[in-house]
Chain A
Amino acid sequence: MLRHTADRIPAVLRRPFVQRLSAIAVIAVIAIVIPAFFPSTYYYRVAALVFVFAIAAIGLNLLMGFAGQVSLGHAGFMGIGAYAVAIGPTHFNIPSWLSFLIGAALSAFVAFIVGRPILRLKGHYLAVATLGFGLLLAIVFVNEARLTGGPDGMLVPRPVLFGWSVRGTETWYWIAAISFVFGAALAANLIDSPTGRALRAIHDSEVAARVLGVDVAKQKLVIFIISAVYASVAGSYLAAFNGHITPDVSGFLRSIELVAMVVLGGIGSIAGSLVGAALLVMLPQVLTFLHDYEQMVLGLVVMGVMIFLRAGIVPSIAAALSRRRA
């Protein structure tokens, strides 16, 4: 049965390279075409936000969906990235692009330091420890008011790249979309590598992975660092795009939102991360007409998806389609 389906697929589509990146190519094409249908810049804005959050969601998906390790504090890394592009140019005269890179490096370093003790924990214990980490960072951003502006937040200077001032919603849309496609391609590459296989193995049986020579602690740390960098990049974009940030960027609700994006879209599915981000960014916009009931309906939709599409939106639909074809 399986063999027959494979035979019907044209040879070019069976190439590993094409298989690995085909979903991402489709997303890229959509990203290029869809602005033609945007009636106003408001749509650019929402779409840019979708891509920005999807970048963070991919990173978290690498950690949760492939390595099977939960983090309820990932918005903390978004916060590091966000405050880096705010504080660097404002207080230290460091150009935005360099602050962006410093933020990513700092996130990687913090993940390295925090990850070692935390990732030894499992399940609920890991969840609570990462939760604590996120809360701690949010408190730092509130308390270091001299640098961060405290609870009111601070303005983010407009980035200047080689004399070109990055401005305009449309520009940000393209930056976010291109970065997402790039990030998704890196993630897909990683999964199709020795590291990716080791991570998926860890998800199913740590004991077996170790006995086969996989250094489980090291692999978890590596993917934690990578996922932190994704979150940091998303945080930097978010801050620069909005021009203003508050400690909420790294708050508990943000972290939960990221987890919800990953799970709703589909754990272990890169396209799913985009769909999950799209759902959670766009739905509140669509539901504003419900006023007081907005949050409630949002909650109901999220519950409904989990009940009826348990594997997440993209994997569930993919499974249904392949069942129909078979």
Chain B
Amino acid sequence: MTILAIERLSIAFGGVRAVDNVSVSIDEGLVFSIIGPNGAGKTTLFNLISGLYVPQDGRVRMRGEDVTGLPPEQLARRGLSRTFQNLQIFFRMTALENVMVGCHRHETVGIFPSLLHLPAVGRQNARTRAAAAGALDRVDLSAAADKPAGNLSFGDLKRLEIARALATEPKVLLLDEPAAGCNAVETGELAGIVRGIADDGITVVLVEHDMRLVMRISDRIHVLANGRTLAEGTAAQVRADPAVIEAYLGVHGSQEAARAVG
């Protein structure tokens, strides 16, 4: 079943058509990757889907419902969450507190009980803390729970963002280059984490430059170049597509690319 559908989506910045007439249909429970060279429009597409940008043309549908132009907080309530290529961390909070913010949409206590710290607030805080600890555990960051987020390494912060997004209990999770800055071991762990998330029924849309990772865990791959769709298919189909290889590294690089990707 299609959970997220993007129909003829377009946005331009000045003369740059960052996303140009792109349509993607994503089935529930998959790891769906979106790849493409630098500047292809991947992050812009995420910004459009997550409501940070409003498309100039086209529609976004979640489970058939038209959600085009809805602000991010309302999309979050409908089960969409994401991470950021350029980290957006709450640096003055601990790792656990960062993830606790992810639980916000499930928290029910109002402002007056909070001011008076009625028992309901204590119970809510305990529930939130437990849920956040669980999400941290899922990305193997439990040991860092009480550290200020500002003290974590880049790779850990990438995972912290995943835990924070998971805490919202999303149906669809957009990951923008989660493996950037990770070493081989960390990338291997990440593959397991992402697969685990998808196995729990959360649809993962992955933007990633690490082709080894992409080929290993993707159920389906969509290729963008210069804001347009270049190809879509399984890992094997995309890998064999000459247009994809060419777009990626230019004609000269295609041999090297074939080696890297193959």
Contacts of A204 on B, CB cut-off 8 Å? Answer: 89-93
Q: Is B184 positioned at the interface, with any CB of A under 8 Å from its CB?
A: no
User: What are 6 sample pairs from A and B whose C-beta atoms fall under 8 A apart?
Assistant: A193-B121, A195-B114, A204-B90, A207-B88, A211-B73, A213-B168
Contacts of B107 on A, CB cut-off 8 Å? Answer: 194
Q: Is there contact, CB below 8 Å, between A193 and B109?
A: yes
Range of interface residues on chain A?
Answer: 20 to 34
B78 nearest CB neighbor, chain A only: A213
Q: Taking each of A207, A213, A214, which has the highest tally of chain B beta carbons within 10 Å of its own beta carbon?
A: A213
Binds B, one of A137-145, A184-192, A240-248: A184-192
Contact pick for A205, options B90, B121, B146, CB 8 Å: B90
A203 to B89, CA, bound (A): 11
Interface flags, B145-164, vs A, CB<8A=1, else 0: 01100000000000001001
Contacts of B76 on A, CB cut-off 8 Å? Answer: 210-213
Q: Is A200 positioned at the interface, with any CB of B under 8 Å from its CB?
A: yes
Q: Is there contact, CB below 8 Å, between A214 and B104?
A: yes
Q: Is there contact, CB below 8 Å, between B93 and A195?
A: no
Contacts of B168 on A, CB cut-off 8 Å? Answer: 212-213
Q: What 15 additional pairs, Cβ within 8 angstroms, besides A194-B125, A211-B88?
A: A20-B117, A186-B115, A189-B117, A193-B114, A201-B90, A201-B93, A204-B92, A207-B52, A208-B84, A208-B161, A211-B50, A211-B76, A212-B81, A213-B104, A213-B168
Contact pick for A209, options B92, B101, B111, B165, CB 8 Å: B101
B105 nearest CB neighbor, chain A only: A213
Q: Is there contact, CB below 8 Å, between B114 and A203?
A: no
Q: Is A2 positioned at the interface, with any CB of B under 8 Å from its CB?
A: yes
Q: Is B82 positioned at the interface, with any CB of A under 8 Å from its CB?
A: yes
5 shortest interchain CB distances as A-B pairs: A213-B76, A213-B105, A193-B114, A208-B88, A194-B107
Q: Is there contact, CB below 8 Å, between A210 and B116?
A: no
A33 to B223, CA, bound (A): 72
In the complex, what's the smallest C-beta–C-beta distance from A201 to chain B, in angstroms?
Answer: 4
Contact pick for A194, options B77, B81, B98, B109, CB 8 Å: B109
Q: Is there contact, CB below 8 Å, between A186 and B116?
A: yes
Q: Is there contact, CB below 8 Å, between B90 and A198?
A: no
A149 to B252, CA, bound (A): 83
A17 to B109, CA, bound (A): 17
Contacts of A2 on B, CB cut-off 8 Å? Answer: 146-147
A209 to B121, CA, bound (A): 21
In the complex, what's the smallest C-beta–C-beta distance from B77 to chain A, in angstroms?
Answer: 6
A198 to B90, CA, bound (A): 10
Q: Is there contact, CB below 8 Å, between B92 and A203?
A: yes
A20 to B122, CA, bound (A): 12
Contact pick for A193, options B98, B102, B117, B161, CB 8 Å: B117
In the complex, what's the smallest C-beta–C-beta distance from B144 to chain A, in angstroms?
Answer: 11
Q: Is B10 positioned at the interface, with any CB of A under 8 Å from its CB?
A: no
A222 to B147, CA, bound (A): 29
Q: Is B233 positioned at the interface, with any CB of A under 8 Å from its CB?
A: no
Q: Is there contact, CB below 8 Å, between B92 and A213?
A: no
Q: Is there contact, CB below 8 Å, between A212 and B101?
A: yes
In the complex, what's the smallest C-beta–C-beta distance from B41 to chain A, in angstroms?
Answer: 19
Q: Is there contact, CB below 8 Å, between B128 and A194?
A: yes
Chain A residues 157-211 with CB under 8 Å of chain B are 186, 189-190, 192-198, 200-201, 203-205, 207-211
Q: Is there contact, CB below 8 Å, between A205 and B125?
A: no
* Contact (A16, B125) CB under 8 Å given A201-B101, A214-B104: yes
* Contact (A212, B114) CB under 8 Å given A201-B93, A204-B91, A204-B93: no
Q: Is there contact, CB below 8 Å, between A198 and B111?
A: no
Q: Is there contact, CB below 8 Å, between A211 and B117?
A: no
Q: Is there contact, CB below 8 Å, between B114 and A213?
A: no
Q: Is B255 positioned at the interface, with any CB of A under 8 Å from its CB?
A: no
